[in-house]
Amino acid sequence: MRIGSIEVLPVLDGTGREPAAEVLTRPGVPDAWSCHAEHLDADGVLTLALGGFLVRTGDRTVLVDAGVGTIDNGKYAGGGLLDSLRGHRVGPEDVTDVVFTHLHFDHVGWATKKGRVVFPNATYRVHADDWAHFVSSPTAEPGAVRKLSPLEPQLEVFDGEVTLAPGLTARPAPGHTPGSTVYVVSSGDERALLLGDVVHSVVELGERDWEAVFDVDPVAAGAVRNALADEVADSTDLVVGAHFPGLRFGRVVTAFGNRTFRAI
């Protein structure tokens, strides 16, 4: 995928499987998924792609999110991200930047391994509010602290909209987590938005009142999601969520006032 002069490639790490109703709900409608059964398997399970995106821009090689790592717990199974990078002729030492949409476990798996930084030459970047929430606050989870603290010598945090590399802009989108961030890739008159977990399923780009169970602030998360979907609707802008099938891009289109996602 090229966005003008910038190359954006999916980097798959593995797969997650969750009962759909334990990921996304419509308040007051217990059988909401019955209208979208085509996105589930016969047991009502939602399959989630795990991984990230490789962005080549100028002399920078940027990894957006770092997958789930070597976890294999029956629901989430990773292990493929480094091989996926090598398939694009990129080794860990070639990555110049690792940027996170947020710091949930399935986005930071290859940030470190057994206390060692996986991408030795990279600057790691994340919104300051997520770093505080997951790592530096007194209530941070010990597992996240162990996983992410080794990054500190290579870490830079940001707290507003900022360009991190040529054509790659961090755009805060709080709600799913305090520092949840969308990355906007732009070159010439072309643009793509890497949505992270602002959107877990393509269904949410059509359904205005659904909520993600893991959102720390469901009201803020819903407002951000709908504002972004309305912004890109019926435009040439491409969008992709961090867990969309195959990490495929698409566009948001409207018909009779209803939004829907069409993969390309």
For 91-121, how does the pLDDT look when each residue is reduced to its tens digit (9 = 90+)? 999 999 999 999 999 999 999 999 999 999 9
Q: Which of 201, 230, 231 is nearest to 213 (CA)?
A: 201
Amino acid at 111: A
Distance between CA atoms of 251 and 239, rounded to whole angstroms?
A: 6
* Paired residues of 238 in beta bridges: 192
Tell me the pLDDT of the chain averaged across its residues: 97
What is the predicted pLDDT for the residue at 257? Answer: 85
Q: Which residue has the tokens 């803020």?
A: 220
> Do 135 and 149 form a contact (C-beta atoms < 8 A)?
yes
What is the predicted pLDDT for the residue at 256? Answer: 87
Average pLDDT rounded to a whole number, residues 194-209: 96
The domain spanning residue 14 has which CATH number? 3.60.15.10
Q: Considering its fold, how many domains does the chain have in total?
A: 1
Predicted confidence band of residue 42 (pLDDT cuts 50, 70, 90): very high
What is the predicted pLDDT for the residue at 30? Answer: 87
What is the predicted pLDDT for the residue at 111? Answer: 98
The H or E element that residue 252 is part of is: strand 250-255
Range of the domain at 35: 2-263
Average pLDDT rounded to a whole number, residues 56-79: 97
What is the predicted pLDDT for the residue at 21? Answer: 94
122-163 per-position pLDDT tens digit = 999 999 999 999 999 999 999 999 999 999 999 999 999 999
Alpha-carbon distance values, 254 to 94, 205, 261 (Å): 41, 10, 9
